[in-house]
Amino acid sequence: MKEKIFRLFAAAITMLAVASFAGRPPAEKKDPGMKALELSSALSPSIKIEPAFLPAIRSYTAVVDSTNVQSVKIDPVPFSAGSRVTINGGETVSGRPYVADLKPGENRFEISVFPAGGKNAVQYQLTIIQKDLSGQYTSERVQAGVWRLADYGGFPPNQNAYLIEGPEKAVLIDTGMGKGDLAGTVKSLTSRPVEVAVTHGHGDHAGQIGQFPASVVYMSEKDKGMLPAAVNSGNFKWVKDGDKIGLGGGRYLEVVEVPGHSAGSIMFLDRIGKTLAIGDAIGSGSYVWKFIPGTSSLSEYRDTLKKLESRLAPFDALTFLTGHHWQERTPLTGTTGKQMVTDMRILCEKIISGEITGTPNSINLGGQKMNVLTASYGLAGIWYDPENLHQSK
Ligand SMILES: [Zn+2]
Could you read off the pLDDT of 260-312 as tens digits, one per residue? 999 999 999 999 999 999 999 999 999 999 999 888 999 999 999 999 999 99
Q: Name beta bridge partners: 183.
A: none
Q: Do 264 and 372 belong together in one domain?
A: yes
Q: How much of the chain, in percent, has pLDDT values that exceed 90?
A: 78
pLDDT at 6 over 80: no
Q: What does R_g of the chain's alpha carbons equal in angstroms? A: 27
For the chain, the average pLDDT equals 91
Residue pair 345/309 in contact (Cβ under 8 Å)? The answer is yes
- The average pLDDT across 359-377 equals 91
Calpha distance 302→256 (Å, rounded): 15
- Gap between the Cα atoms of 251 and 270, Å rounded: 8
Cα(220) to centroid(ligand 1), Å: 14
Residues paired with 28 in a beta bridge:
none
Assess whether pLDDT exceeds 70 at residue 31. no
DSSP H/E element including 84: strand 84-87
Element (DSSP H or E) covering residue 218: strand 217-219
Ligand 1 mean position, distance from CA 339 (Å): 21
pLDDT value of position 393: 57
Of the residues 131, 155, 172, the one at which a domain ends: 131
Q: What distance in angstroms lies between residue 261's CA and the mean position of ligand 1's atoms? A: 7
Strand order in the sheet with 368-377: 288-290, 380-384, 368-377, 359-365
At residue 29, does pLDDT exceed 80? no
Burial of 274 (0-12, 13-18, 19+ CB in 10 A): middle
Tell how far the Cα of 259 is from the centroid of ligand 1, in angstroms. 11
Separation of CA 65 and ligand 1 centre (Å): 21
Distance from residue 223's CA to the centre of ligand 1 (Å): 11
Tell how far the Cα of 165 is from the centroid of ligand 1, in angstroms: 24
Q: At 247, which amino acid appears?
A: L
Neighbours of 117 (CB within 10 A): 7
Of the candidates 80, 111, 131, which is a domain's last residue? 131
Q: Which amino acid is at 242?
A: G
Are 127 and 143 in a shared domain? no
Secondary element (H or E) of residue 330 = none
Judgement on whether residues 301 and 184 belong to the same structural domain of the protein: yes
Does a structural domain hold residue 28?
Answer: no
Instruction: Indicate if the pLDDT at residue 365 is higher than 60.
Output: yes
The pTM (predicted TM-score) of the whole model is 0.86
Query: How does pLDDT run across 128-183, given as a tens digit for each residue?
Result: 999 999 999 999 999 999 999 999 999 999 999 999 999 999 999 999 999 999 99
The neighbour count for residue 217, using CB atoms within 10 Å, is: 22
**How far is C-alpha 156 from the chain's CA centre?**
7
Between the CA of 272 and the centroid of ligand 1 the distance, in Å, is 27
Distance 156 CA to ligand 1 centre (A): 16
Please indicate, yes or no, if residue 282 is contained in any of the structural domains. Answer: yes
CA of 332 to the centre of ligand 1 (A): 18
The alpha carbon of 12 and the centre of ligand 1 are apart by a number of angstroms equal to 72
Residue pair 265/200 in contact (Cβ under 8 Å)? The answer is yes
Q: Assess whether 90 and 166 both reside in one domain.
A: no
E strand or H helix that includes residue 316: none
Distance 28 CA to ligand 1 centre (A): 56
CA 7 to ligand 1 center in whole angstroms: 71
Q: Which residues of 82-110 are buried (b: 16+ CB within 10 A; e: fewer)?
A: ebbbbbeeeebeeeeebebebeeeebebe
In which band, very low, low, confident or very high, does the pLDDT at 234 lie, cut at 50, 70 and 90?
A: confident
Q: Do 90 and 127 share a structural domain?
A: yes
CA of 326 to the centre of ligand 1 (A): 15
The Cα 213–Cα 135 span in angstroms is: 20
Distance 202 CA to ligand 1 centre (A): 5
Shared domain check, 331 and 269: yes
Q: Separation of 215 CA from ligand 1 center, angstroms?
A: 22
| DSSP letter string, 38-90 | EEE-SS-S----BS---TT--EEEEEEETTT-SEEEEEEEESSTT-EEEETTE
Please, is 148 exposed, middle or buried when counting C-beta atoms within 10 Å of its C-beta (0-12, 13-18, 19+)?
A: middle
Give which of 188, 272, 205 is closest to 196, Cα–Cα: 205
Is 379:339 a contact under the CB 8 Å cutoff? Answer: yes
The pLDDT value given to residue 94 = 75
CA distances for 24 relative to 15, 117, 170, angstroms: 14, 22, 72
Residue 210 lies in a domain: yes
CATH number at residue 55: 2.60.40
The answer to whether the peptide bond before residue 51 is cis (omega within 30 degrees of 0) is: yes
Residues 265 and 125 in one domain: no
For residues 157 and 280, state if they share a domain.
yes
Ligand 1 centre from 291 Cα, in Å?
Answer: 11
Give CA–CA dist 223/245, Å, rounded.
Answer: 19
Q: Could you tell me the distance, in angstroms and rounded to a whole number, from the CA of residue 27 to the centre of ligand 1? A: 58
Q: How far is the CA of 200 from the centre of ligand 1 (A)?
A: 7
Q: What is the structure's pLDDT at 18?
A: 39
Domain enclosing residue 65, as ranges:
34-131
Flag whether 40 is in a domain: yes
pLDDT bin (cut points 50, 70, 90) of residue 352 is very high
Same domain, 121 and 182: no
pLDDT exceeds 70 at position 24: no
> Which of 82, 101, 131 is the last residue in one of the domains?
131
Non-local (6+) Cβ contacts of 223 within 8 A are 198, 200, 201, 202, 206, 262, 263, 264, 265
d(CA 94, CA 298): 43
For the chain, how many structural domains are there in total? 2
